[in-house]
Amino acid sequence: MLEVVFSGRSAPAGTVKVIPMFVDKAVRADCLSEEEAKLVKKAVKQADFTGQFGTTLEVFGGRSKIVLTGIGDGENDLILQRVGSKLFNCLYHDEKAYIAAESDNIGRQLAFGVLIGSYSFDKYKTEKTAQDFPKLEQIIVKAQDEAKSKEDFKPCVAVATVLRYAKDLCNEPASYLTPAVFAADIKRLEYLGLDVEVLDEKALHLKGLGLVEAVAKGAAEAPRVVVVSWRGRRQQKTYDLGLVGKGICFDAGGISLKNSNGMLEMKMDMSGAAAVVAAMKAAALQRVRKNLIAVVGLAENMPGPAAMKIGDIYTSFSGKTVEIINSDAEGRLVVADCLAYLQKNYPVKKIVDMATFGSLKSTFGSFYAGLFANDDKLAKQLLAAGEKSGESLWRMPLDRRYEQMLLSPVADMRNLEADGKGLIASAAFLNRFIEKGVRWAHIDISGVRRAKTGLASGFGVRLLDELIKEL
């Protein structure tokens, strides 16, 4: 990852100079030589550059390249981060860049955006030339208070690091990221001070996580459930927040087989688990003074000879029985068992699960994830965290009447409503597994898990990081 340093000194010789510019305001030229200032003034006039958000102007002819970047008409952190993310492309072939901003915060936020924008996933590309790789190695940020800027930037580094981690997990092919490999990768995070327990196939059977077992019956790869805990308040026995993530490492739909187009993103059906684990990693990196507990269910949903059949009935960890109406409604089964296991074994009264059940993209585009909650206060906390992180949520109704759609004549419930539609019913299904007195929210990120580039978006990581900080 790029190195970001803060300095009160002038730009080193030969370093690209980046100058943020507010809309219709004069360019601040205190980091420019007289010759460079004249070049910039001329270029701005010729290009009619006004500093609109996301626009850039590259100026050549001086001692080094100069990049003017428009940051709009106000000091908004999210806008500055987006500008920084786009700025990376302008600096792709430069080794060092010097950001000369009007305030320390503007410089920090732009540098944070550059870190986010520098992400790539090219480990499987074999024909790249030297020109295809970025040369940028260091961002120098002009700072009036070097020590404070460095300290304030630590959370940005942590979040950028875990965003890369979550995206890498989601972008890996399912042939590599099996449940066992995913679980082993999470286990490795113990070096940060996290406690990690991996439940293998035998442990799942002995403990009675029947729904997780059912989903994995058709797969050659055995399932795993992983419990991750962080105790930032060791004197406190209870947990401030519980997290649950859906980790279907590949979802073919089981015998309710998806069509070929429907499988295109199914290696990312573990995006909820990736976001949850990344949020736990962020908490450890930042030494958050909270107690957190997470459970992620990892499995593959394949149409093998032992796959669960339509009409089968399975017993969940909670003891409730579920009739299988559609094997492609498997994520809710895994999440339900994980929710029940979390509540049964750990003292936690506030839980958020993150999953990819049914796409809201046709309704919200790629701008919002769906939020379901049984508690207004928790819902408001999540909505606020979404606004602050830039990962917006839209609250959906959660009504007991939807549970009537899940009634089964032969079991406690079905895994899908009778008409096979209705995203709300999937949340209603999970609600059946929430114990009395537990504040719970379900977030569906299926419509936002993928960025325009085709790579994973990492949605949910920053949202959960903000929620944890504001608890």
CB 330 within 8 A of CB 254: yes
CB 230 within 8 A of CB 292: yes
For 441-462, what is the mean pLDDT?
96
Nearest to 72 by CA among 145, 22, 127: 22
Beta strand extents in 318-404 (DSSP E only): 321-323, 350-355, 369-373, 393-395
Active site residue 320: no
Mean pLDDT (the chain) is 95
Active site residue 344: no
Q: What is the pLDDT of residue 424?
A: 85
Place of tokens 């999953």: 355
Nearest to 336 by CA among 246, 403, 425: 246
Q: What is the pLDDT of residue 260?
A: 87
pLDDT tens per residue across span 205-243: 999 999 999 999 999 999 999 999 999 999 999 999 999
pLDDT above 70: residue 420: no
Place of tokens 């196939």: 201
Place of tokens 């979040």: 159
pLDDT tens per residue across span 101-135: 999 999 999 999 999 999 999 999 998 887 778 89
Q: Which of 38, 86, 150, 258 is catalytic?
A: 258
CB 265 within 8 A of CB 171: no
Helix (H) or strand (E) holding 202: helix 201-207
For 283-308, what is the mean pLDDT?
98
d(CA 112, CA 118): 10
Q: What residues does 456 pair with on adjacent strands? A: 450
Q: Which of 108, 167, 224, 332 is catalytic?
A: 332
Question: Structure tokens of 216?
Answer: 């994995």
Task: List phi, psi (to 5°) of 299.
Answer: -160, 170
pLDDT tens per residue across span 359-408: 777 778 789 999 999 999 999 999 999 999 999 999 999 988 888 889 99
Question: pTM of the predicted model, to two decimals?
Answer: 0.96
Q: Phi-psi bin for 11: left (phi > 0), alpha (psi -120 to 50), beta?
A: beta
